[in-house]
Structure 1
């Protein structure tokens, strides 16, 4: 959470001028529209104070995407408010978010049918408790992403930001509705990943999704098979030109006009800064919609505590390796390739990838009027049991095939994951 102040040329630049303002302007290159600064006196008019949904944008888009249900928009809004108060990590809302019938909130097939906005310092408030993300992104008026930024070499690095989320925001029940509606959270101090001799990076750009108590920050590394200086997706992205009037409005709204011509600000506008890279990689329109549709899983874990079985709900987001593997599978299918190998290391999330693929490929083949069926073939019983429990924990129906002998005398077991 940053404090935006009026800066003179003699004062040090901080996270707002080094990272936040350049990131806001960068979003316009991706086709997002700056909504303007949102203040509390706009509550009930421009935005819904219970959910931070942009009211006019949401209603207009709902009617556009659901012309036969246009009269239900207020009822749907009331239902969303109720769902976001549920203690289910936003599962009921997420089901509504990705649904295509009887009504839809997002058009996942036609990107241009959706609207993409952003703002900064938009307070999430419930009673006397509040927090204020540095940047909030909206799809059709829904605040689905927030970005927190810090200046480089900030005290405590990104570990301090993780601690704040896990110790203050996630456990606070008054923030539950805001955590439930936010699908993607990005954190960056605009530095390259640095572990300082350890295993877990303490500097860089990270992402996560909501949690009931604690979560882990994930690294994101853009696909770069040739190890080029700038990854191809970042280098070749069709960026829009910066609208100078919009840029001036942003800097004016947050009292940062003085930085406009400074070398440091101009340097941090570069598309290849760590913060701008992760924004392009994860928030460019097509990728964000893909991630929203296929990148999340609700996992129910049963564990024994003091002799009793207790259930724990978690919300998981794709790791970047799973994200790119899913995209690669679809790309190869489009090329007519019908078989292939995804090389994984131990503990890298093979089963989770299989889960995400069942959804992505079911939709892929449904567009061809084909019904997909998935077989998960393992080579030992313990892996069969592990895979089955992992699929079931994510809500898939699993049918286990009988054991079969191969011609070489070995045993083959088949675990068949099915969608609900």
Structure 2
């Protein structure tokens, strides 16, 4: 019932006619607020609900949160109830508390821990007459996007440590603020993509609690757009050039529209969050990375080709992917491996990675070792042919 009431509060911010006019005749007189409306329209056309931030503020028409809250707790609780119907209420409340609890002063540590909750579920204990057993509580249904709530909120005021900030658009999935969008006006020479990036860095310092739950960041001036993570520098905010794997977009289509429709549609955003984000570690720091558009489409094609080739009627030949130098081949292999090992159709496969140079072997092994969270296992390194034979005797699958 609470869910139905909230749905009725959502309203359209424009019509398709207005926005198709914009895409056909981009005018240089648009203000930042109008670009915001256009961005919200793209999201609504993808099936997102919409609310104005002031509506759900403590003194708004339909209050849902305090200014210090970055998670829409009631919406998250509703999602947990819906996705875990057989679990006892105290277990679900325990999971909710774990999501809301921040334990480290280090932003990337908190973000990585939450990402694990998001993709793998939250471990809880259930007491029964026969003892205690472990269960998982899930906060996102990655298999069925329609089982999740997608909500875009603009001008959401967040107050933390007496600092007041208001991001342009926050995208909530099941009440969790997974995407933050910052917009600028392409006409204003001082309001560039770089200034939108700088604004996000200010938010990260002023209201860090919002970024505990962040999966990706988007910057746009209405014309161009870039996507990155909480550790990405400006040059790592990348465009998204395709709406799908089959069709090249027209040069007349706006970068913001292509990114929103190609990357933020419900299927793709959930796939990206679950299978195409890594926390790459070295001795000094952790970098959170998300796949570029070419990696995303190539890996998904490769996964489907591999599954078909290894099926009962398959020919055993998955195919070949050709990448240019510097295009992220190693990470593409990580994304491919990470998605393949959890696909139930592959029945816990063993993956063997071969290189033709020692330096490439070391580089690839290091990359895989640094991305264990996505792989959900520690890769093994074969030191010799005999060692490889021993490693391949294991029946439980793995990455060598």
What SS class does the counterpart of residue 351 from structure 2 fall into? coil
Please state if 1:363 is matched with 2:311.
no
Moved more, 337-346 or 138-147: 337-346
Q: 2-side partners of 1:116 and 1:225: how far apart?
A: 26
What SS class does the counterpart of residue 182 from structure 2 fall into? strand
Deviation for aligned residue 1:24: 1.1
Q: 2-side partners of 1:114 and 1:227: how far apart?
A: 29
Q: 1-side partners of 2:276 and 2:88: how far apart?
A: 28
Match of 2:219 in 1: 187
Match of 2:18 in 1: none
What SS class does the counterpart of residue 94 from structure 1 fall into? helix
What aligned pairs does 1:347-362 form with structure 2 within 5 A after superposition?
Answer: 347-362=326-341
Deviation for aligned residue 1:373: 1.5
Q: 1-side partners of 2:240 and 2:346: how far apart?
A: 35
Structure 1: which 4+ aligned runs deviate by more than 6 Å? 212-215
Q: Structure 1, unaligned stretches of length 5 or more?
A: 1-11, 192-203, 232-271, 303-310, 406-411
Given the superposition, is the C-alpha separation of residues 84 and 69 from structure 1 closer, same or farther in structure 2, using an over 3 Å criterion? farther
What SS class does the counterpart of residue 154 from structure 1 fall into? coil
Match of 1:196 in 2: none
- Say whether the 8 Å CA contact 2:156–2:170 is kept in structure 1: yes
Given the superposition, is the C-alpha separation of residues 190 and 224 from structure 1 closer, same or farther in structure 2, using an over 3 Å criterion? farther
Higher relative contact order (CA 8 A, sep 6+): 1
Match of 1:66 in 2: 84
Please state if 1:16 is matched with 2:33.
yes
Give CA-to-partner distance per residue, 1:10-57, whole Å, 9 cap, x none.
xx641111x111221221110111234335425996136544211221
Q: Please, what TM-score do these two structures have when normalized by structure 2?
A: 0.75
What aligned pairs does 1:330-345 form with structure 2 within 5 A after superposition?
Answer: 330-333=303-306, 336=309, 338-345=317-324
Q: 2-side partners of 1:189 and 1:214: how far apart?
A: 14
Give CA-to-partner distance per residue, 1:236-287, whole Å, 9 cap, x none.
xxxxxxxxxxxxxxxxxxxxxxxxxxxxxxxxxxxx4332221111110000
Given the superposition, is the C-alpha separation of residues 30 and 334 from structure 1 closer, same or farther in structure 2, using an over 3 Å criterion? farther
Q: 2-side partners of 1:69 and 1:188: how far apart?
A: 44
Match of 1:253 in 2: none
1:178 to 205, 210, 214: 210
Please state if 1:120 is matched with 2:97.
no
Match of 1:321 in 2: 294
Q: 2-side partners of 1:212 and 1:273: how far apart?
A: 23
User: CA RMSD, aligned part only?
Assistant: 3.1
Please state if 1:98 is matched with 2:71.
no
Instruction: Figure out how many residues of one structure are paired with residues of the other and give that number.
Output: 336
Q: 2-side partners of 1:108 and 1:48: how far apart?
A: 29
- Say whether the 8 Å CA contact 1:84–1:93 is kept in structure 2: no
- Say whether the 8 Å CA contact 2:168–2:182 is kept in structure 1: yes
Deviation for aligned residue 1:404: 4.5
Moved more, 352-361 or 285-294: 352-361
Q: Please, what TM-score do these two structures have when normalized by structure 1?
A: 0.72
What SS class does the counterpart of residue 218 from structure 1 fall into? coil
- Say whether the 8 Å CA contact 2:58–2:65 is kept in structure 1: no
Q: Structure 2, unaligned stretches of length 5 or more?
A: 1-28, 122-134
